[in-house]
Amino acid sequence: RYPAAAAARYDDAANKVVVSLANGVDISFPPSAAQGLERATPSQLRVVEVTGAGTGIHFPELDADLYVPGLIEGVMGTRKWMAARLGAVGGAARTPEKSAASRENGKLGGRPRKTRA
């Protein structure tokens, strides 16, 4: 069982959503890290409600909901959304091994061209 959210707010100065749990712990995260809040404006983030006996937080102006137990575990969106974010980070990685593999692929003619069906 997870601690319930007692309050939630948007901290303009830090550009973070802050969730205060009933056990006295605060969790904060940048809006860009949570599904549904990525492109939110500060005025949209200032309106936030605790829902479901503290199991959720709701942003009415965005029609976005976050599950508090998921926030505690670091889950900031659906599996599909999280996988896309993880894939983008992995795809942007630059390592010597990745560079070497790219050079080898280039020697073979590079990536095959897409054909139209």
Q: Which residues pair with 57 in a beta bridge?
A: 50, 66
Q: Which of 53, 52, 59 is nearest to 31 (CA)?
A: 59
Task: Report yes or no: 36 and 27 within 8 Å, Cβ to Cβ.
Answer: no
- The average confidence (pLDDT) of the chain is 84
pTM for this structure? 0.67
Q: Which of 34, 93, 94 is nearest to 66 (CA)?
A: 34
pLDDT score of 96: 82
Q: Which residues pair with 7 in a beta bridge?
A: 20
Residue 45: alpha-carbon gap to chain centroid: 15
Q: Is 3 or 47 the better-scoring residue by pLDDT? A: 47
Read off the DSSP letter of residue 75. -
pLDDT score of 22: 94
Residues 6+ apart with CB under 8 A from 4: 21, 22, 53, 54, 55, 68
Q: Which residues pair with 29 in a beta bridge?
A: 17
pLDDT score of 87: 60
pLDDT score of 81: 59
pLDDT digits (tens, 9 = 90+) for 37-76: 989 999 999 999 999 999 999 999 999 999 998 887 776 6
pLDDT digits (tens, 9 = 90+) for 85-98: 666 555 656 778 87
pLDDT score of 105: 79
